[in-house]
Amino acid sequence: MAEVLLFHHVQGLTSGVRAFADQLRSAGHTVHTPDLYDGRLFDDLDAGMAHVRQIGFETVIDRGVQEAQTLPEQIVYAGFSLGVLPAQKLAQTRSGALGALLFEACVPASEFGGPWPAGVPVQIHGMDADESFAGEGDIDAARALVADAEDAELFLYAGDRHLFTDRSLPSYDDQAARLVIERTLRFLARI
């Protein structure tokens, strides 16, 4: 079974993020879900983004990197949207990474010193018409990563919702989220 460090999205460590982690735990995986916001939750994307702008993207990434220091190096890094930033940085820069799961976001590998590290599998999930994923360049970064990495998969889901995997939010898409869980569990089973 895999050990996973899972970072929350811009609205915080919601009950939906916790529920996603619990689904992985019920399959036998160890999942750590640190709270990068010290308990704060935000009702919508705009409020969450205002908070991130106030504390700084680098602060969020640094908090994620600090959380990883307490865990073994042989771990899978995962993140939802904003949480992809620390997950992707750790997968690319911390030795021993076993894999990466990038949900609803992806940045160019060059952001963290690229290219993607050899021997680190990655799986990326996003909706094909999500303004944040498809409209802001994340889908292009994901396609480039898949083209360059030796073991990479990109899964696109029909729809325009962001944070579609979080069952506590109105943007939740049950059918797509079930597929994400199924594909995530297959990924973790081969680690």
Q: Say which CATH topology domain 3-189 has.
A: Rossmann fold (3.40.50)
Quick: pLDDT tens for 104-146.
999 999 999 989 999 999 999 999 999 999 999 999 999 999 9
- Rounded to whole angstroms, how far apart are CA atoms 71 and 5? 9
Q: Which residues of 45-68 are buried (b: 16+ CB within 10 A; e: fewer)?
A: beebeebbeeeeeeebbebbeebb
Distance (Å, rounded) from C-alpha 91 to C-alpha 76?
8
Query: Where residue 96 falls among pLDDT bands split at 50, 70, 90?
Result: very high
User: Any idea where the domains of the chain sit in the sequence?
Assistant: 3-189
Model pTM?
Answer: 0.97
Q: What is the pLDDT of residues 15-60, one digit of tens each?
A: 999 999 999 999 999 999 999 999 999 999 999 999 999 999 999 9
Residue 152 has pLDDT above 90, yes or no: yes
Chain centre to alpha carbon of residue 66: 17
- pLDDT recorded at residue 167: 98
